[in-house]
Amino acid sequence: AQSVTQPDIHITVSEGASLELRCNYSYGATPYLFWYVQSPGQGLQLLLKYFSGDTLVQGIKGFEAEFKRSQSSFNLRKPSVHWSDAAEYFCAVGGNTNAGKSTFGDGTTLTVKP
Amino acid sequence: NAGVTQTPKFQVLKTGQSMTLQCAQDMNHEYMSWYRQDPGMGLRLIHYSVGAGITDQGEVPNGYNVSRSTTEDFPLRLLSAAPSQTSVYFCASSSDEQGGEAFFGQGTRLTVV
């Protein structure tokens, strides 16, 4: 069975500081990994995804993530956080054999201090 | 391009009432899914479909029915609403291409009293 763990429920960073959100997954084959962002009252928007190739992937809004197969991790990073980055972030895992069904982590809420 | 459209955005039901949450996508995606989002629990898969006429259960299917008569539409039916079904519901669609991500609707906030 596939699963995703986001160990940090809530993270607070100062504006301009760097950010890393952790994601660990369990999947029996080569995973497809996603990071989504959700602003209050909104749906989820894709930040970036990995399914093959370079293990460091770039996304929108200056985010990047690194796939580490040996650690079963797909951590999200941003070098300098902006106040508008405050939101909830979800990591998800899926695969080509599971017909588009993704399993989501419980989410990490990011608060940005001025 | 509207993407994934969900209606209604808000709904209050009394226990025992039935209703249908509508979902439509205009991206010609084969895969469609319904999730519910509860505080601290992420998104949990209710039902999904891999194409017109084909549906299957997800993680939390009890109390919900779905059908997929067309590629575009994937309605979710609550047969007899219960307070435990108070949640935010999201519909998503994705293509069958390798690594295809999910596109989400704006959500339906449902309260069952």
Q: Do A44 and B96 touch (CB under 8 A)?
A: no
- The pLDDT of residue A108 is 96
Q: How confident is the model at residue A99 (pLDDT cuts 50, 70, 90)?
A: low
User: pLDDT, tens digit, for every residue of B47-88?
Assistant: 999 999 999 999 999 999 999 999 999 999 999 999 999 999
Separation CA B43–CA A5 (nearest Å) = 13
pLDDT per position as a tens digit, A11-69: 999 999 999 999 999 987 778 999 999 998 888 999 999 988 889 999 999 999 999 99
Minimal Cβ distance to B31: which of A42, A46, A99: A99
3-state secondary structure at position A39:
coil
B92-103 pLDDT, tens digit each: 998 877 677 889
Least confident of A6-20, A96-110, B14-28, B33-47: A96-110
A102's tokens: 């993704």
Say whether residue A39 is in contact with chain B using an 8 A CB cutoff. Answer: no
In whole angstroms, what is the distance from residue A46 CA to residue A90 CA? 9
How many contacts (CB atoms, under 8 Å) link A and B?
A: 67
User: Rounded to whole angstroms, what are the CA distances from A39 to A84, A97, B13, B22?
Assistant: 9, 30, 26, 22
